[in-house]
Amino acid sequence: MAEDDKGKALITKNKKALHDYIILQRIEAGISLLGTEVKSVKSGNINLKDGYCFIRDGEVFLRNVHIGTYRYANRLNHEPMRERKLLLHRDEIRKLHARIKERGFTLVPLLVYQKRGKIKFEIGLVRGKKLYDKKEDIKKRDVSRDLKERYGTSHLSGHLK
């Protein structure tokens, strides 16, 4: 795990969400984890691929995020697919709830990182991409890759963003 300039050490990212959704807003959230879950996440044993967030009783929960069992914890291990509570301020939850009620918006986990020893999730308020949006992104990526192969990275400064 390499730290960036803000003291964040990336653990994993949700590549599927970045491909399938248009990200409208990013929110940093803490998470309530058990001890074995923390050790498992810090070792990179987490999968965000099918995860999503929902709001129930004024609290945000994370569902379908797989945190593998911790290898060295015998009978005290956690359930890999349990719902986990995200820690956000009440005002943030209220604003998110209002946006989610609108048609087509949802919350998905985008990143998991470590910040000052704590596990943090970056969740995104997203809207699903249409098929033509996905095809356009793939086309841009292919053209960018071809240009890099042909001319190297120095000629691409500022192109295709």
17-70 tens-digit pLDDT: 887 888 899 999 999 888 888 888 888 888 888 888 999 998 999 899 888 888
The pairing of strands 105-115 and 66-67 is: unpaired
Question: What is the 3-state secondary structure of 49-114?
Answer: CCCEEEEECCEEEEECCEECCCCCCCCCCCCCCCCEEEECCHHHHHHHHHHHHCCCEEEEEEEEEE
64: region left, alpha or beta (phi > 0 left; psi from -120 to 50 alpha): left
Question: For residue 18, what are the CA distances in angstroms to 13, 51, 158?
Answer: 9, 13, 21
Tens digit of each residue's pLDDT (9 = 90 or more) over 114-155: 988 889 999 999 888 777 777 777 888 888 888 888 887 655
Structure tokens at 44: 């990179």
